[in-house]
């Protein structure tokens, strides 16, 4: 299986160019929180993914559409680590794949939290922050790792 490589040359070109074309992809299709962006296992994802570089240059956003119609955005640090992920669409992405080694931490935190509040999920383990809301057939959520946030980036940027 081909691994993603974004060469320096492609980066230079990509600063000026938006690669278009969101396509439906076989799972798994997106990188895992906390890991290197090259953890995307399907090279098709990035050949056809829309790569958007923000003017601040302090991070890049890889936007993908899952086969179930949900838009996933991965926030990637200059060092190539996925420090945050957001998702919005009709169906939740597979959280085991999205959160990777942080999935168990998320499960523990949800189980430990009081379920008095029934509008959505809010967990904060100190490093992992996971929030989601919506209703059946619509989910909006985000997860990020405080330890991997580039300096100057606020959680509010993760949308």
Partner 1 sequence: MLPGCGGSKASNASSSSSPASGTNVQAITVNAGPTGNYANGLFTSVTVCAPGTSNCQTVSGVLVDTGSYGLRVLSSALKLSLPQQNDSGGNPVVECAQFVLGITWGPVKTAEIKLGGEQANSVPVEVIGDPAYSTVPAGCSGHGTPQQTLAALGANGILGVGSFIADCGSACAASGSGNPGFYYGCPTASSCQIIAEPVSQQVQNPVAFFAADNNGVMVQLPAVSASTASVSGSLVFGIGTQSNNSLGGAKVFKLDNFGNFTTTYKSKAYPGFLDTGSNAYFFLDSATTGITDCPSQENGFYCPSSPASVSATNTGANSTSSNVSFTVDNAATLFANATDSVFPTLAGPNAGAFDWGLPFFFGRNVFTAIETKSTPGGTGPFWAY
DSSP 3-state of 7: coil
In this chain, which of 16, 57, 135, 151 binds partner 1, going by CB under 8 A? Answer: 135
Q: Give the number of residues in contact with partner 1, rule: CB under 8 A.
A: 46
Q: Which of 49, 64, 76, 95 binds partner 1 (CB under 8 A)?
A: 95
- For position 159 contacting partner 1 by CB under 8 A, the verdict is yes
In the bound complex, what is the minimum distance in angstroms from residue 130's beta carbon to partner 1? 10
Give the strand order in the sheet containing 138-145: 50-53, 60-65, 71-76, 82-89, 138-145, 128-135, 120-124
> Element (H or E) spanning 33, and its range?
none
> Which residues contribute to the site for partner 1 (CB under 8 A)?
24-27, 67-69, 86, 88-92, 94-97, 107, 110-111, 113-122, 131-142, 154-156, 159
């Amino acid at each position: 299986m081909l691994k993603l490589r974004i060469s320096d040359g492609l980066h230079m070109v990509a600063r000026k160019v938006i690669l278009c074309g969101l396509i439906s992809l076989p799972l798994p299709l997106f990188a895992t929180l906390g890991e290197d962006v090259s953890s995307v296992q399907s090279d098709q994802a990035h050949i056809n993914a829309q790569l958007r570089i923000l003017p601040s240059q302090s991070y890049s956003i890889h936007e993908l559409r899952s086969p179930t119609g949900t838009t996933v955005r991965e926030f990637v640090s200059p060092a190539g680590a996925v420090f945050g992920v957001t998702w919005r669409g009709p169906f939740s992405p597979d959280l085991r794949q999205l959160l990777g080694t942080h999935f168990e931490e998320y499960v523990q935190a949800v189980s430990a939290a009081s379920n008095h509040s029934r509008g959505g999920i809010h967990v904060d383990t100190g490093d992992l922050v996971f929030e989601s809301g919506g209703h059946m057939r619509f989910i909006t959520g985000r997860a990020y790792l405080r330890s991997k946030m580039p300096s100057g980036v606020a959680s509010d940027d993760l949308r």
